[in-house]
């Protein structure tokens, strides 16, 4: 049985929500992590090389980084239809959003939170405004990033705005989407 290492009130919460939505038989093990505020500590029971979460162990396979874990899980548990499989329509967009989150969105949001800007960052990652426009563009056409289908990409990309509402832009398209994502997740919990 796969094991997901998780720490409540952390980035791994989104992956735990996905596990529930997938109806996946996965052992979820709580571990402690070092927190931003100095609380917590690295848990020796956590096999993650950097003692972070989430971390998925599935037999000999280990997967880290939320986007990669979520992609792995939606491919492994396709019955919930939370991500297009290879060969299905929307697969390219799905892979792109999962990677865009990890490679562009999260770094830009972290830099914004830290109050850091630099031309090199903008040249390579773009700006906050560009990133938000990339999110808004597909949402103007359909209710979700992949059009009519809610996916793990919506869960992942909306998650920072659900955690840090002060980072939620004034753009109504994005605000409405974040609200729809939160409602979808809340409905799944009940």
Q: What is the CATH number of the domain that holds 124?
A: 1.20.1050.10
Identify whether residues 16 and 66 lie together within a single domain. yes
If asked whether residues 74 and 97 sit together in one domain, one would say: no
- Dihedral over Cα of 57, 63, 64, 66: its sign: negative
Where among 59, 80, 101 does a domain terminate? Answer: 80
Number of domain units in the chain:
2
Model pLDDT, residue 190: 65
Q: What is the CATH number of the domain that holds 27?
A: 3.40.30.10
Does residue 156 share a domain with residue 111? yes
Are 151 and 102 in the same domain? yes
In this structure, are 71 and 13 located in the same domain? yes
Query: Is the same domain home to 61 and 139?
Result: no
Asked if the structure places residue 85 within a domain, the reply is no
Q: How confident is the model over 88-111, as pLDDT tens digits?
A: 999 999 999 999 999 999 999 999
Given 48, 80, 112, the domain boundary residue is 80
Residue entry with tokens 């697969």: 91
Residues 97 and 172 in one domain: yes
Q: Which domain holds residue 71?
A: 3-80
DSSP 29-82: EE-----TTS-----TT--STTS-S-EEEETTEEEESHHHHHHHHHHH-GGG--
95 and 16 inside one domain? no
Condensed to tens digits (0 to 9), the pLDDT of residues 104-147 reads 999 999 998 889 989 998 999 999 999 999 999 999 999 999 99
* 28: DSSP letter: E
Look at strands 3-6 and 55-58 and give their pairing: antiparallel
Whether residues 128 and 52 fall in one domain: no
Mean pLDDT score of the chain: 94
Residue 188 pLDDT exceeds 80? no
Instruction: Name the percent of the chain lying above pLDDT 70.
Output: 99
- Answer yes or no: is pLDDT of 73 > 90: yes
For residue 28, give Cα distances in angstroms to 39, 76, 157, 186: 22, 16, 22, 19
Pair 98, 70 in one domain: no
């Amino acid at each position: 049985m796969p094991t997901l290492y998780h720490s409540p009130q952390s980035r791994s919460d989104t992956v735990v929500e996905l596990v529930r939505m997938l109806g996946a038989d996965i052992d979820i093990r709580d571990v402690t992590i070092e927190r931003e505020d100095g609380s917590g500590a690295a848990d020796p029971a956590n096999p993650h090389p950097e003692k972070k979460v989430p971390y998925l162990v599935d037999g000999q396979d280990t997967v880290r980084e939320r986007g990669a874990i979520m992609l792995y899980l939606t491919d492994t548990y396709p019955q919930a239809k939370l991500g297009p499989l290879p060969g299905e329509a929307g697969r390219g967009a799905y892979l792109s959003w999962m990677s865009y989150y990890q490679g562009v969105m999260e770094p830009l949001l972290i830099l914004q939170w830290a109050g850091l800007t630099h031309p090199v960052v903008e040249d390579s990652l773009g700006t906050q405004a560009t990133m938000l426009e990339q999110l808004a563009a597909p949402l103007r056409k359909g209710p979700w990033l992949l059009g009519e289908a809610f996916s793990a990409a919506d869960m992942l990309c909306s998650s920072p705005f659900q955690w840090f509402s002060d980072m939620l832009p004034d753009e109504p398209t994005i605000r409405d989407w974040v609200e729809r994502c939160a409602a979808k997740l809340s409905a799944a919990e009940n």
